[in-house]
Amino acid sequence: MALGTTISKYLSLVKFSHTIFALPFAIIGFFLAVFGKNDGFQWETLLLVVLCMVFARSAAMAFNRFIDRFIDKENPRTSIREIPSGLISANSALVFVIINASLFILTTYFINQICFYLSPVALIVILGYSYTKRFTFLSHVVLGLGLSLAPIGAYLAVAGEFDWIPLLFSFAVLFWVSGFDIIYALQDIDFDKSQNLRSFPVFLGLKASLMLSSVFHLLTAGFILYAGIYGEFGIWYWVGCAIFILLLAYQHTLIKADDLSKINLAFFTTNGIASVVFALFVTLDLML
């Protein structure tokens, strides 16, 4: 019982369910290399890729909660989080970060040299995000950059070299995540102003931020469409592409400048479904 409770607390600390955003794109990157480079499918490599995703994201989220613990305590929306509420101590969270970061680097060692050598760079990006909102409104873009490493990282795990096609998906993830993180940040605009924190909503205001989010998601759609043309994908890719773009558009119908009540639906449910469905169709297209 005690072990189960502890595990539950740490899963909540890192919002483990939000892994659904980037992991499907890592799967896309993995199968792009498997079928594009004819390197063959290996369960061991897939498992190592998934472990890298879990360890890296857990380290990043726990570090974010550790760095933001005093800010979270002052924000009514976040004061119930594990560290400010006392469910997990700050020191325990930091130890959790170190363990996951170490496991991430160790896992890349068993993949290949290029992943291992680049692992500290990936950690710098995903951990460094936690500081960005203190000095730049581009924090959303840095978050997007961190998650955009998923498809190219998974591709490198199999192919061991860079290529344009996974980079196109990485650019899509960059603008996709940046766009919906701007929407998510709208609910804290007044608090962020009071704490002198930086974000696009603070910098641009509510309406302009919604417009920028739409522009970012148009860029996302553009990269996904171009990736389909560049990669000469088949019908199943285009079905998944259409569903993904429609869900992108749908989330923007949920959020109005005078009504932010459906942010969680737009942020988690819509984007989670979009990424999973798109990955399924892309993988199906690659297999067939």
pLDDT on residue 1: 44
Which phi and psi (to 5°) does residue 259 adopt? -150, 100
Amino acid at 236: W
CB 224 within 8 Å of CB 165 = no
Asked if pLDDT for residue 81 goes beyond 80, the answer is yes
Find all residues with CB under 8 Å of 78, minimum gap 6, and list them.
68, 71, 72, 84
The SS3 call for residue 256 is strand
* C-alpha–C-alpha distance, residues 281 and 23, integer Å: 15
Two structure tokens written together for 108: 């890349």
Q: Which residues make Cβ contacts (< 8 Å) with residue 273, sequence separation at least 6?
A: 247
Are 220 and 257 spatial neighbours (Cβ–Cβ below 8 Å)? no
pTM: 0.94
Radius of gyration of the chain (CA): 19
- Over 80: is that where the pLDDT of 139 sits? yes
**To which residue do tokens 């060692």 refer?**
109
> Is the model more confident about 257 or about 136?
136
Query: How sure is the predictor about 134, in pLDDT bands with cuts at 50, 70 and 90?
Result: very high
Contact 175, 144 (CB under 8 A): yes
Q: Taking a C-beta distance cutoff of 8 angstroms, is the pair 165, 40 a contact?
A: no
Q: Give the pLDDT confidence of 196-235 residue by residue, as tens digits.
A: 999 999 999 999 999 999 999 999 999 999 999 999 999 9
Determine contact, residues 67/131, Cβ cutoff 8 Å: yes
Strand (E) or helix (H) holding 111? none
Q: Look up tokens 């798109």; give the residue.
A: 278
- Grade residue 39 by pLDDT with cuts at 50, 70 and 90: low
Average pLDDT estimate for 81-97: 95
Task: Give the architecture-level CATH label for domain 17-287.
Answer: Orthogonal Bundle (1.10)
> What's the rounded Cα separation, in Å, for the pair 182 and 133?
12
Q: Which of 251, 224, 241 is nearest to 277 (CA)?
A: 241
| Residue keyed to tokens 């290949």 | 112
Domain edges within the chain? 17-287
Are 77 and 195 in contact by the 8 Å Cβ rule? The answer is: no
